[in-house]
Amino acid sequence: MKFLIVGLGNIGEEYQGTRHNIGFDIVDSLAKEMDSNFDLDRHAFISDFKFKGRSFHLIKPTTFMNLSGKAVKYWLDKLKIPKDNLLVILDDVALPFGQIRIKHKGSDGGHNGLKDINQKLGTNQYPRLRFGIGNDYHSGDQVRYVLGNWTDAENALLDKPIQRSCEAVKSFGTIGITRTMNEFNQKIEQ
């Protein structure tokens, strides 16, 4: 059983610590927990580890957020992983800060990374983990908010939902998406 776990984000120092890069932060945290390093390969940084007999392949696309589909399609094909074993991790302004929501499939919800993945794969029928970044911005300020850094207050609370997301990824690969959704799609206490 092989799984492709895709953390969405943008490469480059100027994007580190931004809300839009939470996908990168989650796979970084998981790789660190599993004592696995990322290496640059085609279209992505990739890290691999085994957990409970499953092979997890983590990628951070180097194609920038809006072209994430190129890396996702390449690695799904190269590793011969079915779309049901793909999990895309992304930020979501529609969810409160720190809340996670796992789904079997769904629309792109206006997220450019998902739009590109849907287009390159020709479907939206694949699992995703949405990480709530909140929507504390004024009309017209969404791009600046999403590409902005976490506040000090958010940073102080970030470890727990990132760790919860890592647990959800491992659960997805071991007990399946339905049971993982039942366990992790609940509001969390800050």
Q: Looking at 20, 43, 57, 111, which residue is catalytic?
A: 20
Banded pLDDT at 16 (limits 50, 70, 90): very high
> What gap in Å lies between CA 92 and CA 111, rounded to an integer?
8
> What gap in Å lies between CA 106 and CA 127, rounded to an integer?
8
The pLDDT of residue 190: 47
Q: What residue ranges define each of the domains in the chain, with the CATH number in brackets?
A: 2-184 (3.40.50.1470)
Percent of the chain whose predicted confidence (pLDDT) is above 70? 98
C-beta separation of 2 from 79 below 8 A: yes
Active site residue 20: yes
By C-alpha distance, which of 101, 94, 98 is closest to 137?
94
- The mean per-residue pLDDT over the stretch 73-84 comes to 98
For the cut 60, the answer to whether the pLDDT of residue 189 exceeds it is no
Q: Is the pTM above the cut of 0.85? A: yes
Q: Which residues pair with 58 in a beta bridge?
A: 5, 47
C-beta separation of 69 from 119 below 8 A: yes
The pLDDT of residue 186: 76
Sequence-distant (6+) residues with CB within 8 A of 6 are 23, 27, 58, 59, 61, 68, 71, 72, 75, 86, 87, 88, 89, 117
Q: Which parts of the chain fold into alpha helices (H)? A: 22-33, 68-79, 112-121, 142-146, 152-157, 159-175, 177-184
